[in-house]
Amino acid sequence: MQAFFDDYVCLAGLATELVNTAPGVWHGEDQLPDTAALTAFLAEHGIDAEPATRDLEAVHDLRARLREVLDARDAEVIEHRASALVARGLGTVGLAPDAQGRQQWCARPRPDADLADRLALLSGLGVLGALRALGPERFRDCASDTCSGVFIDTTRPGRRRYCMPDLCGNRANVAAYRARRRANS
């Protein structure tokens, strides 16, 4: 597994989606409750792994650290916290061919890095890449009043408003959620 520095859009997307699997962000439930859910989440992001229970616990802990990164609005604070995540998993930096065969800067994890360390490296690089290319104003709270998610807006126009556009940005979903909450109370 290696991470291309220029791939920050993809890596920042991984960081955003990992943070927003936390309990309380969407409908209250943890979206990574067990190793099967974590395996599926990783596969969606092109990461082939068979996590053990201790990996799941370590990823939950990383998710909380990463939330502190995405909650920051100051460039120096974001950089400081994201650099710590990168350092946690970083092995070597070098050049490698990308999918188009062009030589690109990439980072490789330490050989002994566990799954959470590797995810820390990937998401930390995504955060730093987005910060450098787009600035701290792209780190935002979800605009939905039923969601406490956060996100990094890597879109070209920079007008993204929701952490999970298909869910929080969908009025029908929000209405259904409110109706369910009324019915339960």
The footprint of Zn ion (CB under 5 A) covers 142, 144, 147, 149, 162-163, 168
* Axis-axis angle for helices 8-19, 115-134 (nearest 10): 120
Shortest distance, position 155 Cβ to Zn ion, whole Å: 15
Residues contacting residue 43 through CB under 8 Å, at least 6 positions apart: none
Alpha-carbon span 47 to 2, nearest angstrom: 11
Task: Return the sign of the alpha-carbon dihedral for residues 176, 177, 180, 185.
Answer: negative
Shortest distance, position 179 Cβ to Zn ion, whole Å: 18
- What are the backbone dihedrals phi and psi of residue 101, each rounded to the nearest 5 degrees, phi first? 85, 5
Shortest distance, position 41 Cβ to Zn ion, whole Å: 17
Structure tokens at 14: 């991984």
Closer CB to Zn ion, 139 or 162, in the complex: 162
Shortest distance, position 176 Cβ to Zn ion, whole Å: 15
Closer CB to Zn ion, 118 or 160, in the complex: 160
Closer CB to Zn ion, 60 or 161, in the complex: 161
Closer CB to Zn ion, 18 or 128, in the complex: 18
Alpha-carbon span 114 to 158, nearest angstrom: 34
